[in-house]
Amino acid sequence: MTTTGRLYGIGLGPGDPELITLKAHRLITSADVVAYPVKKGARGVAITIAEPYLTEAQLRLPLEYPVTTESTDHPGGYDGALADYYDTTAAELAAHLDAGRDVAVLCEGDPFFYGSYMYWHERLADRYPVEVVPGVTSVSGAAAVLGRPLVQHDEVLTILPGTLPPDVLAARLRTADSAAVIKLGKRHFPAVRGAFERAGLADRTWYVERATTERQRVRPLAEVDPAEVPYFSLVITPSTAPGGEFATNRTPREPEPDYTIPEPTGELGSIDVVGLGPAGPEWLTPDAHAALAAADHVVGYGPYVDRVQPRPGQKRHRTDNRVEAERARHAIALAEAGGRVAVVSSGDAGVFAMASAVLEAAHETATEVPVRVVAGLSAMQAVAARAGAPLGHDFCVISLSAILKPWDVIERRLTAAAEADLAVAIYNPASKTRRTQVAEARDLFLKHRSPDTPVVVGRDVGGPTESVRVVRLADLDPDVVDMRTLLIIGSSRTRAYPRPDGGTGVYTPRRYPA
């Protein structure tokens, strides 16, 4: 019985030979054959990292790429040329393994992190004993060189190849807490930088070249000459999470309103009125994320401002919930001084929120500041989705708050909705001082709806105390309703049904009987 050699995929780390792990060192010094990918005419990065530890007795096997970034006349194009290359070189490795020799394939960084080794692995792993040794990735090495944390707390790190189409790259970056883009080179770098600019992240992003080596360079993204960008470089948008010991240049929360206006820049700024969705960052749209990242000023009710990821250099203006007009005028003044302003609201900014207040102020002051409303996921959509599809047919939306309109107007609208047999999403149903409106609305609907009509009671959807219950209209208890609650009262066609998990779902059929 013939014993074959063993194949090792060895991660060497980002470049510094001292960052090779002890296990990688042991295996590359004991292997019979040391193989490594290399560009035509080049010495090779991997063999350069490992060189101090190799012996003269070991066979060195360069695996020369037929093509890297240049064009090819291969009938299968670039992908076809590389596929043939991996087939041919895998056969070379197999010949040594069949002869009983252990083969260590060197890989910069980590073998399974965008590494070339994986293509030999998939061709050989089912035929020979294989072991993969992880290595320090280029992203980890660059973060260490940069001296800034990649992620903190509940942040999510997004890693992307610079070869993605620029619009796809920008869309992915808009939702990133922190990000790293690898595979640059002079050909892709301009598009990558443009994607960061469109995502609003460029001014807190860093370029790192040949991290951990004697030739490493670190520059702000804006200061990089694309003509000088090698393949072994990447860009990093590090963490800016508040509360971290190493979150450099982060903006502290401002506990008091600040209506000061900076010195005018001589240019006109802009206002984005941004809907944050009903809860955490997972409800934020890419468009909203980009607007927040690009803003010089974030203006809004204090708890909503606190939901926005801080950005170095960004000014935060936290105000009370009942100063919408003052907040809107302050945002206009900031924009007239040249600032990019994001006015934030929970849910959708156009639904009982700041969009109408800002547009009204802009209309009254005849300002030339452009105002854009950035849509957000509304609370009614979030509650409806948790319950099923209670808004699947015609519906309306009514606020029970009598602060800005009299109660008799609310009563007339509730009556009209009930008589029209519409499902109704009810915002602001109660507060600490308003405790009668829910009962009055329930009793009004009972004049037109069956007592068994399903009512969805959603509270803090997406938040830590989320609860969604389905009750009969007759059983709706006003005492369990507060300002963090949204109600959806079904139409005569709305149906409740048992879910497999033991809960109750709700839907309204799209057909209505003639």
Distance, in Å, from the CA atom of 153 to the CA atom of 347, rounded to the nearest integer, reads 24
| Single residue among 349, 377, 405 that ends a domain in this structure | 377
pLDDT of residue 42: 83
Task: Tell whether 288 and 394 lie within a shared domain.
Answer: no
Residue 212 lies in a domain: yes
Q: CA–CA distance from 67 to each of 114, 215, 225 (Å)? A: 17, 25, 25
Q: Indicate if 190 and 92 belong to the same structural domain.
A: no
By the 8 A CB rule, do 164 and 172 touch? yes
Residues 311 and 428 in one domain: no
Task: Look up residue 195 and give its two tokens.
Answer: 């994607």
State residue 282's pLDDT score. 82
CATH of the domain at 25: 3.40.1010.10
384 and 442, same domain (yes or no): yes
Predicted model pTM: 0.59
pLDDT at 510: 93
* Residue 259 included in any domain: no
Residue 252 lies in a domain: no
The CATH code of the domain that includes 467 is 3.30.950.10
In a domain, 250, yes or no: no
371 and 427 housed in the same domain: no
CA 69 – CA 215 distance, rounded (Å)? 22
Beta-strand (E) ranges in 145-253? 157-161, 178-182, 206-209, 217-220, 233-237
Which pLDDT does position 256 carry in this prediction? Answer: 53
Q: Is residue 64 part of a domain?
A: yes
Q: What is the domain count for the chain?
A: 4
Phi, psi at residue 286, to the nearest 5°? -55, -40
- The residues facing 63 across adjacent strands are 37
Please indicate, yes or no, if residue 489 is contained in any of the structural domains. yes
The domain boundary, picked from 308, 343, 377, lies at: 377
Q: Is 258 a domain residue?
A: no
Domain boundary among 361, 377, 393: 377
Q: Are residues 211 and 284 in the same domain?
A: no
Which structural domain, as residue segments, surrounds residue 164? 139-237
Task: List, as own/partner pairs, every contact residues 480-484 make where C-beta atoms lie below 8 angstroms and the sequence separation is at least 24, other chains included.
Answer: 481/429, 481/430, 481/438, 481/457, 482/430, 482/431, 482/432, 483/428, 483/429, 483/430, 483/431, 484/459, 484/460
Same structural domain for residues 154 and 227? Answer: yes
Alpha-carbon torsion angle 253, 271, 176, 301, nearest 10: 40
DSSP, residue by residue, 327-381? HHHHHHHHHHTT-EEEEEESB-TTSSSHHHHHHHHHHHHT----EEEE----HHH
Least Cα distance to 179 among 166, 196, 203 occurs for 196
Per-residue pLDDT in tens (0 to 9) along the chain, 514 residues:
568 999 999 999 999 999 999 999 999 999 999 999 998 878 889 999 999 999 999 999 999 988 766 667 788 787 888 899 999 999 999 999 999 999 999 999 999 999 999 999 999 999 999 999 999 999 999 999 988 899 888 788 999 999 999 999 988 888 888 999 998 888 889 999 999 988 888 888 999 999 999 889 999 998 999 998 988 899 999 887 544 333 334 333 334 556 778 888 889 999 999 999 998 788 889 899 889 988 999 999 888 988 887 777 789 998 877 788 899 999 999 999 999 999 999 999 999 999 999 999 999 999 999 999 999 999 999 999 999 999 999 999 999 988 888 999 999 999 999 999 999 999 999 887 788 999 999 999 999 999 999 999 999 998 888 999 999 999 999 999 988 899 999 999 999 999 999 999 999 999 998 8
**Judgement on whether residues 125 and 146 belong to the same structural domain of the protein:** no
Return d(Cα 236, Cα 217) in angstroms, integer: 13
Residue 369: C-alpha distances to residues 306, 333, 343 (Å): 25, 9, 14
Shared domain for 387 and 495, answered yes or no, is yes
* Axis crossing angle, helix 286-294 with helix 166-174, rounded to the nearest 10: 80
CB atoms within 10 A of CB 46: 26
Amino acid at the residue 454: P
Residue 287 lies in a domain: yes
Residue 155 pLDDT: 83
402 and 503 inside one domain: yes
Task: At 507, give phi and psi (nearest 5°).
Answer: -145, 155
Same domain for 212 and 131: no
Would you say 250 and 337 are in contact if contact means Cβ atoms under 8 Å apart?
no
Domain match, 482 and 396 both: yes
Sorted by sequence, the CB contacts under 8 Å of residue 200 that are 6+ apart come out as 174, 289, 290, 291, 292, 293, 294, 295
pLDDT at 69: 62
What is the C-alpha separation between 435 and 213, in angstroms, rounded? 67
